[in-house]
């Protein structure tokens, strides 16, 4: 038994709906289409209103799917609860209004539709995928260069280096393990932000999805900074009150500057991850900050770098530039 399903991706603007209304019925009849799924999350530019959803159904959609712009128009919230033929991503928080999948009985067959969002990777053009690969190769490549670096150059670059470590497998494995752990941490942070944003949306705390995302980022930043503050107080008590060491402000100035830059970077990191439409671009850029450390060591500590170091750095920089250009 033959059963034909037509999937139409990302209808944009009401002109797109009008085009479907004119041509879709005839096309379905000509091709013998039995079931039609249409993505309609961008008909309003960003988002979909209940009236626009009704227009899509009238044009011939059996099921409408949404994506990362689901909440571009908050009027759709109640509609998602009431109409089982419109689906938001199933990997949104379970508390998010609506449903992520549906099973539809058509008599002779049952059709299951599952709506998923891939964190933005599916929206990347080939150049952005190549750029992401460049960043990854550059970061891991620095570890490989370190493991095979010329001994004389290493001695000049890091007079106090532990050569036994540098020539061991750890010099290669630790950067790779770091990348894996950092990626896992970035994923966990993104999940926390999604849950905070979804809870704010489900509880009606704000009028728009963007406001919910901003709330999630602010809450996460507050949690991070309070954690750092508590850790700082504990360290201060241990160093000054227990160990009786004196803190001389002038000598500690570089640490103060480092703390200020770390705080600024943390805020930027959280707000980058809270932008779900671009998280797939943000993640590789965030993971490349170890390359910045190598560059700063050359600028401020005057460490000598090899041609291979510069090549790996160039790969990362090229990848970041490409990501930025295609995201503009």
Q: Which of 114, 140, 173 is the last residue of a domain?
A: 114
Pick 5 or 302 by higher pLDDT. Answer: 5
Q: What is the pTM of this model?
A: 0.45
In eight-state DSSP terms, residue 42 is B
Residues 177 and 304 placed together within one structural domain of the fold:
yes
Are 197 and 149 within one domain? Answer: yes
Cα–Cα distance between 300 and 145 in angstroms, integer? 21
Task: Indicate the residue among 114, 136, 171 that finishes a domain.
Answer: 114
Q: How far apart are CA 37 and CA 9, in angstroms?
A: 8
The pLDDT of residue 161 is 45
Between 175 and 63, residue with greater pLDDT: 63
The Cα–Cα gap between 27 and 160 comes to 73
Asked if 261 and 322 sit in the same domain, the reply is yes
pLDDT, mean over the chain: 78
Q: Do 173 and 244 fall within a single domain? A: yes
pLDDT at 320: 80
Pair 92, 69: CB distance under 8 Å: no
Mean pLDDT calculated for residue range 244-273 = 77
Tell whether the model's pLDDT for residue 26 goes beyond 60.
yes
Which residue's entry shows tokens 């009786």? Answer: 244
**151 and 228 housed in the same domain:** yes
Contacts of residue 7, defined as CB under 8 A and 6 or more positions apart, other chains included, come to 36, 37, 38
| pLDDT at residue 306 is higher than 90 | no
pLDDT tier at 160 (50, 70, 90 boundaries)?
very low
pLDDT recorded at residue 63 = 96
pLDDT of residue 282: 66
In this predicted structure, the answer to whether residue 105 has a pLDDT above a threshold of 60 is yes
- Do residues 135 and 107 both lie within one domain? no
Give the span between the Cα atoms of 201 and 189, in whole angstroms.
18
For residues 231 and 206, state if they share a domain. Answer: yes
For residue range 110-157, list pLDDT tens digits in order: 888 988 876 555 556 778 778 878 887 887 777 677 666 655 655 665
Q: Do 157 and 243 reside in the same domain of the chain?
A: yes
In this structure, the answer to whether residues 157 and 194 fall within a common structural domain is yes
Which of 91, 114, 137 delimits the end of a domain?
114
Does one domain contain both 71 and 152? no
- pLDDT of 51 reads 94
Number of domains in the chain: 2
Q: Which residue has the higher pLDDT, 85 or 192?
A: 85
Per-position b or e across 6-32, b if 16+ CB within 10 A of its CB: bebeebeeeebbeebeeebeeebeeee
DSSP tag of 120:
T
CATH number at residue 103: 3.60.21.10
113: left (phi over 0), alpha (psi -120 to 50) or beta: beta
In a shared domain, residues 158 and 286: yes
Q: Which residues pair with residue 37 across a beta bridge?
A: 7, 63
DSSP state of 79: H
Instruction: Indicate if 150 and 214 belong to the same structural domain.
Output: yes
Beta-bridge partner residues of 36: 6
**Average of pLDDT values for 73-90?**
89
* Domain residue limits at 270: 121-327
Long-range contacts of 294-299, Cβ-Cβ distance < 8 Å, separation of 24 or more: 294/142
Distances from the Cα of 220 to the Cα of 35, 65, 190, 267, angstroms: 43, 30, 10, 9
State residue 100's pLDDT score: 86
pLDDT digits over 196-242, tens only?
777 777 666 665 666 766 777 677 767 777 787 888 889 889 888 89
| Residue, of 150 and 326, whose pLDDT is higher | 326
E-assigned strand segments in 109-227 = 110-114
pLDDT band at 8 (very low <50, low <70, confident <90, very high): very high
pLDDT > 50? residue 104 = yes
**Helix (H), strand (E) at residue 327:** helix 307-327
- In whole angstroms, give the CA distance from residue 211 to residue 201: 9
The C-alpha angle with vertex 175 and arms to 168 and 260, in degrees rounded to 5, equals 130
Question: Which of the pair, 258 or 315, is modelled with greater confidence?
Answer: 315
């Amino acid at each position: 038994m033959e059963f034909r399903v037509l999937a139409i991706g990302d209808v944009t603007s009401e002109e797109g709906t009008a085009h479907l209304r004119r041509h879709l019925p005839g096309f379905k009849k000509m091709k013998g289409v039995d079931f039609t799924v249409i993505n309609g999350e961008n008909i309003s530019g960003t988002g979909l209103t209940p009236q626009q959803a009704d227009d899509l159904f009238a044009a011939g959609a059996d099921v409408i799917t949404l994506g990362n712009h689901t909440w571009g128009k908050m009027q759709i919230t109640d509609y998602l609860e009431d109409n089982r033929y419109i689906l938001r991503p199933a990997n949104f928080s379970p508390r998010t209004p609506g449903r992520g999948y549906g099973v539809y009985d058509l008599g002779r067959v049952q059709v299951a539709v599952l709506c998923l969002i891939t964190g933005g990777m599916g929206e990347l053009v080939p150049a952005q995928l190549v750029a992401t690969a460049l960043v990854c190769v550059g970061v891991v490549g620095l570890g490989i260069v370190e493991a095979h670096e010329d001994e004389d150059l290493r001695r000049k670059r890091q007079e106090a280096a532990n050569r036994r470590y540098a020539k061991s497998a750890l010099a290669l494995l630790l950067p790779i393990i770091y990348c894996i752990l950092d990626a896992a941490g970035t994923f966990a942070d993104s999940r926390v932000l999604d849950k905070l944003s979804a809870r704010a949306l489900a509880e009606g705390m704000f009028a728009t999805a963007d406001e919910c995302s901003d709330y999630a980022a602010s809450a996460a930043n507050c949690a991070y900074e309070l954690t750092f503050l508590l850790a700082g107080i504990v360290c201060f008590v241990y160093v000054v009150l227990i160990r009786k060491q004196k803190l001389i402000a002038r000598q500690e100035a570089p640490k103060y500057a480092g703390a200020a830059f770390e705080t600024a970077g943390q805020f930027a990191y959280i707000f980058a991850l809270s932008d779900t439409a671009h998280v797939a671009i943000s993640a590789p850029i965030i993971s490349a900050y170890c390359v910045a450390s190598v560059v700063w060591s050359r600028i401020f500590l005057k460490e000598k770098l090899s041609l291979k170091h510069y090549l790996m750095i160039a790969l990362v920089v090229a990848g970041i530039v490409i990501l930025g250009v295609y995201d503009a």
